Amino acid sequence: MDTVNYVEEYYNNYDEEGRLLRRYGQVEYITTMTYIHKFLPESGRENCRILEVGAGTGRYSIALAQEGYAVDSVELVEHNLTILKSKITADYNITARQGNALDLSAYGDETFDMTLILGPMYHLYTEEDKRRALKEAIRVTKPGGHILAAYCMNDATILQYCFGENKLGECMQKNMLTEDFHCISKPEDLFELVRTEDIISLTEGMGVTRINLVASDGAANYMRDIIDGMDEEVYKEFIRYHLSVCERQDLIGATNHSLDILKKE
C-alpha cells in the first residue's frame, strides 16, 4: 500500500471535522484562525485570494469563504473533498479540486496572498517531499504574502503515546525511536512527527522569512477532560491564556500541533 492509500484509508474512517469541533480541538482552530486573520492583507478581502492545500472537509476554507474571501481548496482524499463540496453554496467564492501538495502546477506563480498547508506536512515522510511541498506553496504565493504550515510535534507523542499509553516498549521493538527519542515514521504509521529544529531547517534557502512558530493547541490535548468540563467563562479565560503564551518558544516543543508562519521575500 502506498502513502496515498494509507492516508485515504485513514481519513475515510476518521471524523476530522468532529475533531476541530470538539472543545479541545477548537483551541487549535481558534489559534489558527487568529493567525490567519492577523496576516491576511489589510487591503481588504475583495482583492484577497487564499489557497488551502490539504483542505480536508473544509473547516478553514468554508469559514474563510463565509467571511467573503476568495478561496481555492485542494484536497487529496476524495471522501474529504466530497464533504467539502457539499458545504459550498452559490454565494461562496470558492473552488475545490482534488490535488496533491507536491504538485500545484494547476496554479500560476505568485497567485495567492496567503497559502495554507494545514495538513499535508503531517503525511510527508522525507525531507525531499517536505521541501517540495513548501517550495510549491511558496511559488504560488505573492511576494510579501504569507505561508502558514502546520506540523505534528514529536515530543507530545513521546509523552502521551509512548509513556502515557505505555507504548514505549512496543515502539522501541519496532525501531520507531532513535536513541534521543526522535520518532521514525513510515507511511503506514500515518503521521510524521517533527521537532522545532526540523521545521526551521526545512525552509533554509527558500526565500522566506519566519515570522513566528506557534503552539497551535499548546496544552489542550494534555487536558482534554478538563477542558471539556469547563464552563463557558472558564473556557474563554483558557483561550485567552493560551493565546497569550502560544508564541513562547520554550513551550513549542511540547504542543501536539504547531503553526509555522512564513513571509515570502
82: CB partners within 8 A, 6+ apart: none
Residue 22: the pLDDT is 79
Domain extent listing, the chain: 3-264
Nearest-angstrom CA–CA distance, 77 and 12: 8
Nearest-angstrom CA–CA distance, 202 and 50: 23
Q: Residue 187's Cα: distance from chain center in Å?
A: 18
Q: What is the CATH number of domain 3-264?
A: 3.40.50.150
Per-residue pLDDT reduced to its tens digit, 254-264: 999 999 999 99
Give pLDDT tens digits along the chain (265 positions).
566 666 667 666 666 666 667 788 899 999 999 999 999 987 777 789 999 999 999 999 999 999 999 999 999 999 999 999 999 999 999 999 999 999 999 999 999 999 999 999 999 999 999 999 999 999 999 999 999 999 999 999 999 999 999 999 999 999 999 999 999 988 888 899 999 999 999 999 999 999 999 999 999 999 999 999 999 999 999 999 999 999 999 999 999 999 999 999 9
C-alpha cell recorded at residue 183: 520518532
pTM score, whole prediction: 0.92
Nearest-angstrom CA–CA distance, 119 and 117: 6
Which of 132, 139, 61, 69 is closest to 100 using CA atoms? Answer: 132
Nearest-angstrom CA–CA distance, 134 and 205: 12
**Length of the chain, please?**
265
Rg (CA), the chain: 18
Residue 6: the pLDDT is 62
Q: Residue 7's Cα: distance from chain center in Å?
A: 15
Residue 4: the pLDDT is 67
Per-residue pLDDT reduced to its tens digit, 1-36: 566 666 667 666 666 666 667 788 899 999 999 999
Which of 107, 187, 193 is closest to 150 using CA atoms? Answer: 193
93: CB partners within 8 A, 6+ apart: 65, 68, 69, 70, 71
